[in-house]
Amino acid sequence: MTAIAPPTRRAKTAPLLWVGILAVALALPAVATNNFVLHALTMSLIFAILAASWDVLFGYAGQVSFGHAGFFGVGAYGSAFFSYYAGLSPWLGLFVGGAAAAFFGFIVGFPSLRLRGVYLALATLACSEMLRIVVTNWVPVTRGTLGFNLHPGFPYVPHTPIAHYYVILAGAMLSIAIMYKFAARSRVGLVLRAVAADDIRAQALGVDVFRMKLLAFTVSGFFAGLAGALYAHFIQLVTPNETASSLTILIIAMATIGGVGTIIGPAIAAIVIHFVTEMLQIAGTVFDKIAVGLVLMLFVLFLPRGIAGLVRKSR
């Protein structure tokens, strides 16, 4: 029943590939001089963190989260509140947002003690929906549907789209590398996969299954929240829309198309999908989300392991 990642082998070409990707990412603003294109690229990077963080939970620990929009929202609002109400640096706010979402993930992960599969997914959905209702209605604090706007974006950094792109590129690269290291290249990641494969057997072998699940929820929550905090200071406006479950659906679509259980696959798919749909919007179509839905269905039918599965097979 699972989407556990088979142990990945380190390819010899890998370091070269990473240097190449990094070079392209660093050079992109030179090519993409249009502000709208740069904005779309920056947002794509935020989605990449989100899709990868969903994959930590599903692709490695085997836990389905329908609540990622909630994690993202806690990070965005947490960071915004911290810099607005406490008047402290947004740079610190990024970590506060991440920490707040990590704590939210920890709480949301608690039902995993008793619940599995669908039941757990619905519990996470309930938490995320309740959060959305609170931030929509708690007008004195969140300003409700008008949104919470922040004046300074990132201090000490020039207020230009290119600078913002580099800030978020650094955040995304670092986050994804850490998640990859944590889930795919560490002993803890190996134990997580054992929990996903068969938690009863893992328990019998001495694994504290509940603690491992909570750890996965906390880590996934932290990075989804960090994405939210980056978003809040980049867009400088947080609205309850950021906690809507349609965002979660989009994240799951990106992760599935990229190939769950690889971290990198969901991240790259998120970048491509968000960027292409944004470009479709410039072209004036309303078919962008229809296309994502259609592509997702085709992948589930014909390529359930996603793009990453295709790449792996061709090796």
- Runs of H (alpha helix) within the chain: 14-31, 35-55, 68-85, 90-109, 117-137, 139-142, 161-184, 187-197, 199-204, 209-235, 245-258, 264-282, 288-302, 306-314
Site track 272-311 with another protein (rule: CB under 8 A), x = hit: --------------xx-xx-xxxxxx--xx--x-------
Asked if 143 touches another protein (CB under 8 A), the answer is: no
Choose between 121 and 276: whose C-beta lies nearer to another protein.
121
Choose between 29 and 59: whose C-beta lies nearer to another protein.
59
Choose between 62 and 171: whose C-beta lies nearer to another protein.
62
171 to 57, 102, 165, 220: CA distances (angstroms): 20, 17, 10, 15
Alpha-carbon distance of 10 to 307, in angstroms, equals: 18
Residues 244-263 binding another protein (CB under 8 A) are: 245-246, 249-250, 252-253, 256
Choose between 122 and 311: whose C-beta lies nearer to another protein.
122
Asked if 17 touches another protein (CB under 8 A), the answer is: no
**Least CB distance to another protein at residue 34 (A):** 26
Residues 150-179 binding another protein (CB under 8 A) are: none
Count CA atoms within 13 Å of residue 261 on its CB side.
Answer: 23
Choose between 79 and 112: whose C-beta lies nearer to another protein.
112
Number of shown-chain residues binding another protein (CB under 8 A)? 43
Choose between 271 and 273: whose C-beta lies nearer to another protein.
273
Asked if 137 touches another protein (CB under 8 A), the answer is: yes
DSSP 260: T
Asked if 130 touches another protein (CB under 8 A), the answer is: yes
Alpha-carbon distance of 173 to 158, in angstroms, equals: 20
Asked if 118 touches another protein (CB under 8 A), the answer is: yes
Burial class of 107 by CB neighbour count within 10 A (0 to 12, 13 to 18, 19+)? middle
Asked if 121 touches another protein (CB under 8 A), the answer is: yes
In this structure, the strands spanning 237-238 and 148-149 are antiparallel
Q: Which two tokens stand for residue 157?
A: 């950094």
**Least CB distance to another protein at residue 197 (A):** 14
Q: Which two tokens stand for residue 146?
A: 């008008």
Alpha-carbon distance of 153 to 90, in angstroms, equals: 7
Choose between 39 and 116: whose C-beta lies nearer to another protein.
116
Interface residues with another protein (CB under 8 A) are 1-3, 64, 111, 114-119, 121-123, 125-127, 129-130, 133-134, 136-137, 245-246, 249-250, 252-253, 256, 286-287, 289-290, 292-297, 300-301, 304
